[in-house]
Amino acid sequence: MSAEDAVLIDNIGELVTNDPTHGDGPHGVIADAALFVRDGIVAWAGRRADIPQGTDGARVDAGGGTVLPGFVDSHAHLVFAGDRAPEFAARMSGSPYAAGGIRTTVAATRSAPDDVLRARLGELVAEALRSGTTTIECKSGYGLTVADEVRSLRLAAEVTDELTFLGAHVVPEEYSGRADDYVALVVGEMLDACAPYAKWIDVFCDRGAFDGEQAREILRAGVARGLVPRVHANQLQTGDGVQVAVEFDAASADHVSHLTGSDIEALAASRTVATLLPGAEFSTRAAYPDARRLLDAGVTVALATDCNPGSSFTTSMPFCVAIAVRDMGMTPREAVWSATEGGAKALRREDVGHLRVGARADLLLLGAPSAVHLAYRPGVDLVSGVWRSGQRVHVGSAR
Amino acid sequence: MSAEDAVLIDNIGELVTNDPTHGDGPHGVIADAALFVRDGIVAWAGRRADIPQGTDGARVDAGGGTVLPGFVDSHAHLVFAGDRAPEFAARMSGSPYAAGGIRTTVAATRSAPDDVLRARLGELVAEALRSGTTTIECKSGYGLTVADEVRSLRLAAEVTDELTFLGAHVVPEEYSGRADDYVALVVGEMLDACAPYAKWIDVFCDRGAFDGEQAREILRAGVARGLVPRVHANQLQTGDGVQVAVEFDAASADHVSHLTGSDIEALAASRTVATLLPGAEFSTRAAYPDARRLLDAGVTVALATDCNPGSSFTTSMPFCVAIAVRDMGMTPREAVWSATEGGAKALRREDVGHLRVGARADLLLLGAPSAVHLAYRPGVDLVSGVWRSGQRVHVGSAR
């Protein structure tokens, strides 16, 4: 063992492992803890009093702060150009949100050179990392031509492995009134070109986007190409989205702001995660989804940012945690779980979202005595350090 | 003129001056702008094309970002020990907020040594500065003995000049059932000891705290000692708070979450600012005040954090701006004005809150093309630089 590849994080006031078999309660919380990382992997986690022999690498003093798994942001749209601040300002004076606004960003994205898209993408990923996000999913969906969708995925592949083909984000302008022709393009030439770059296939199944039958056709084609489904479902109204997601054993049904009782039953009986995106309701002044109802029904809930320039221009998982607690009925600890392990489950990842022995050492240190402070101290940057695979990649300002 | 004492901030995408006579609209917004600071004072502000001769000091490239006045946080409680995260977590599971919880912090504060209080105070002021707050008010009110109130103000004086004596925060435990005896102490020996340290006199006039008659007695005594009134009014229910504030020509009535029509008329006809504290409603899951109704009635509205460990443990004015836009009916530009010039008016300050020629050069640079982004990008740290009196005191991570 090389000492350079090992680090002991000591003097942790609260360690959140998300390991119910180790530590207190369902989230595996350990007080007065330490964590030993070797070769980018969690090698040991436990009470300071129990630190084993052989932990002689670098040593980091956590100063009584909190260590938790890095946030797993399982839903983000990061390849785009332009912003929509004027549309946001108008909406905050009363204009409603409509999915069609996506077309504004499509036009800007198509006309932007690679370097412009790459620079914005890099800034957003860096910004997310500073607030504690160590795994981030990224969708295409602002290209909507074969070449522009491929380009989006190719650029996104430079920053993440969690790549989602979302050619079916919205019907582009030039296919207005010919949605079925666009679906044929998506499941044909576009999917052929994009599938080699992507892990996931996604479709926006909602008012103003694609209906249930179109969504099924798109997911079916994606599955045939080896992609795994996830669905933008029931954001704007009740509809087929959740049922389609469950029918296709999707990894996640995202938004799910408008649910019937049978939607909730279907989710609870499935292994499809309900991914809630409070930034979208925040920035469109829509009603928040009722996380409590989902949790009480036994649904697995994830939190993600939905980062995009139209309806949720935030990369901040701490912000999503705070809103989920304030406005969606989650307890602080449930929200932290959903932003970490919940996101990992929405991406069907076993290696992140928790700090069990063997996990990837993706974690953050808060300058606060408890993870509850992520909701208790809203808007405050509490991050004092971020590690990815055991390497410290950010030093924050928080004490 | 010494070049070291001068700086030209150039390549500003958007400059918010809050000077309606200079720039566009009521908030004096100038696109493609520059700002020249000399000897800690704004010496010139305008379009880049019009930069005058003689601006040969240091030069800062704002990179197309936004420059706005530093935030003026006119309501904060920063001298205390302990935190109340467990109480917060319990409340997020359904327990209501009660003013009596203040006593928990009083006990912790009284038993803490000076160094503990000083360290916490310093951390909070530094944290506020990093998010763009260049002027911050600080109240006593967790001591509630003569010695502990004096100590609170003495410590607060190390970090700010905006000092408020709030001996009448709540009736302390040892005076339970003897509120009038406690009021006698506040207006007598305690005021005698505290008045030399303070500029403002404040009283929590609400259910569970002090009634209208007690509030009047306290403010009258403070005024007699040269202090200027401000009032914690109508946070928990309608009552006498606003009427008392207006009657005493208070600089500000704070919280004002529960207002009658005549309260609003009284505020509109007065020079008392309505200071809204969205962090308190956020962290107590209470209904937000209706800023729109106040603005439409012609009331001057300020935004502040109410930073305290019980009901609003945030120092983030950007967070307050975002919530005010999302949940209180303010436009993004109105909210930014209320967080800068509005706060200055609530502190009756002419030198801060705006960037007119002659203003103190307290300002911040955002890595964003418009101040609208403070609401459009909720939870994201956009601050890339903070200046106080022309000196750069913080370099942020935002591009």
Q: Is the minimum CB–CB distance between A373 and chain B shorter than 8 Å?
A: yes
Interchain contact, A379 vs B379, CB within 8 Å: yes
Tell me how crowded residue B271 is: count the other CB atoms within 10 A of its CB.
12
Chain A and chain B share a number of CB contacts under 8 A equal to 125
> Looking at the predicted structure, is the pLDDT value of residue A270 above 60?
yes
Token output for A224: 């045939």
Query: What would you report as the CA-atom Rg of chain B, rounded to the nearest whole angstrom?
Result: 21
Task: Check CB contact under 8 Å for A127 and B380.
Answer: yes
Q: What are phi and psi of B278, to 5 degrees?
A: -60, -25
Mean of the pLDDT values across residues A88-113?
85
A140-185, pLDDT tens digit by residue? Answer: 999 999 999 999 999 999 999 999 999 999 999 999 999 999 999 9
Q: What digits encode the pLDDT tens for the residues A25-69?
A: 899 999 999 999 999 999 999 999 999 998 888 999 999 999 999
Asked if residue B290 has pLDDT above 80, the reply is: yes
The span from the CA of B301 to the CA of B260, in Å, is: 16
The band of A4, judged by pLDDT with boundaries at 50, 70 and 90, is low
Q: What is the pLDDT of residue A1?
A: 42
Q: Which helix (H) or strand (E) holds B252?
A: strand B252-255
Instruction: Give how far the C-alpha of residue B60 lies from the chain's centroid of Cα atoms, to the nearest Å.
Output: 28
Q: Please, what is the average pLDDT of chain B?
A: 95
Q: Is the sign of the CA dihedral A315, A321, A325, A326 positive or negative?
A: negative
Residue, of A296 and A208, whose pLDDT is higher: A296
Q: How far is CA B323 from CA B318, B329, B377, in A?
A: 9, 9, 11
pLDDT at A218 > cutoff 50: yes
Strands A6-16 and A29-38: antiparallel
pLDDT confidence bin for A94, thresholds 50/70/90: confident
To which residue do tokens 């006039």 refer?
B205
Q: Is pLDDT at A3 greater than 70 in this prediction?
A: no
- Residues written for chain B: 399
The whole-angstrom separation of Cα B169 and Cα A213 is 62
User: What are the tens digits of pLDDT across the range B24-61?
Assistant: 889 999 999 999 999 999 999 999 999 999 888 899 99
The answer to whether B378 contacts A282, with C-beta atoms less than 8 Å apart, is yes
Burial label for A24, CB within 10 Å (0-12, 13-18, 19+), is exposed
Check if the beta carbon of residue A107 is closer than 8 Å to that of residue A310.
Answer: no
Which CATH number, 1.20.1060.10, 2.30.40.10, 3.40.50.720, 2.60.40.10, labels domain A6-70+354-395?
A: 2.30.40.10
Q: Which of residues 70-89 of B touch A (CB under 8 A)?
A: 83, 85-86, 88-89
> For residue A100, which phi and psi values (nearest 5 degrees)?
-60, -20
Task: Inform me whether the pLDDT recorded for B269 exceeds 90.
Answer: yes
Tell me whether strands B391-395 and B6-16 are parallel, antiparallel or unpaired.
unpaired
Cβ distance of A92 and B127 shorter than 8 Å: no
Superfamily of domain A72-346: Metal-dependent hydrolases (3.20.20.140)
If one counts every other C-beta atom within 10 angstroms of the C-beta of residue A391, the result is 13
Distance from CA of B287 to the nearest CA of A (A): 11
Estimate the share of chain B in helix, then strand, then coil, as percent rounded to the nearest 5: 35, 25, 40
* pLDDT number for residue A57: 85
Distance of alpha carbon A389 from alpha carbon A394, whole angstroms = 13
Q: Are A131 and B319 inside 8 Å of each other by CB? A: no
**Given an 8 Å threshold on Cβ–Cβ distance, is A376 in contact with B320?**
no
CA distance to A123, A197, A304, B29, B326, per residue, from A201 (Å): 25, 11, 18, 44, 32
% chain A with pLDDT above 90: 91
Beta sheet of B228-233, edge-to-edge order: B138-139, B163-168, B200-205, B228-233, B252-255, B273-276, B301-303
Q: Is A337 on the interface with B (CB under 8 A)?
A: no
Q: Are strands B391-395 and B383-388 parallel, antiparallel or unpaired?
A: antiparallel
Q: What percent of chain A has pLDDT over 70?
A: 98
* % of chain B exceeding 70 in pLDDT: 98
If you ran DSSP here, which 8-state letter would residue A100 be given? G
Would you state the pLDDT for residue B98? Answer: 63
Using the Cβ of B313 and the Cβ atoms of chain A, whether some distance falls under 8 Å is answered with yes
CB spacing of A123 vs B397 below 8 angstroms: no
Distance from the Cα of A319 to chain B's closest Cα (Å) equals: 5
pLDDT (average), residues B185-190:
98
pLDDT tops 50 at residue B1: no
Q: Does B88 contact A375 at a Cβ distance shorter than 8 Å?
A: yes
> How far apart are alpha carbons A390 and A7 in whole angstroms?
8
Give pLDDT tens digits for B129-169.
999 999 999 999 999 999 999 999 999 999 999 999 999 99
Q: Given a cut of 70, is residue A97 above it in pLDDT?
A: no
Confidence band (pLDDT; 50, 70, 90) for A101?
Answer: confident
Instruction: Name every chain B residue with its beta carbon within 8 A of the beta carbon of A86.
Output: 372
User: Under 8 Å CB-to-CB from B176, ≥6 apart: which residues?
Assistant: none
Q: What is the pLDDT of residues B212-260, one digit of tens each?
A: 999 999 999 999 999 999 999 999 999 999 999 999 999 999 999 999 9
Q: Give the integer Cα–Cα distance in Å for A15 and A64.
A: 10
Locate tokens 């620079």: which residue?
A119
Q: Residue B47 has which token pair?
A: 């379009």
Q: Which residues of A touch B89 (CB under 8 A)?
A: 331-333, 372, 376
Give the helix/strand (H/E) hosting A252: strand A252-255
Residue with tokens 């054993």: A249
**Boundaries of CATH 3.20.20.140 in chain A?**
72-346
Residues A230, A251 contacting (CB under 8 angstroms): yes
pLDDT at A331: 96
Record: contact A376-B83, CB cut-off 8 A:
yes
Q: Whole-angstrom Cα distance, residue B367 to residue B67?
A: 9
Characterise A368 by phi-psi region: left (phi > 0), alpha (psi -120 to 50), beta (else).
beta
Q: Where in chain A is the domain with CATH 2.30.40.10?
A: 6-70+354-395
Tracing tokens 């925040």 back to the chain, one arrives at A282
Of the candidates A314, A319, A375, the beta carbon closest to that of B92 is on A375
Residue ranges of the alpha helices (H) in B289-331?
291-296, 317-327
Contact A380 B123 (CB under 8 A): no
Question: At B267, which helix (H) or strand (E)?
Answer: helix B261-268
For A397, the closest of B85, B130, B331 (CB atoms) is B130
Burial class (CB in 10 A: 0-12, 13-18, 19+), B93: exposed
Torsion angles phi and psi, residue A11, rounded to 5? 60, 45
State the amino acid at position B116 in one-letter form: V
Facing residue for B314 by CB, picked from A313, A370, A377: A377
Q: At residue B354, what is the residue type?
A: H
Distance CA A30, CA B47 (A): 56
- Give me the pLDDT at residue A98, please: 62
Strands B6-16 and B66-69: parallel
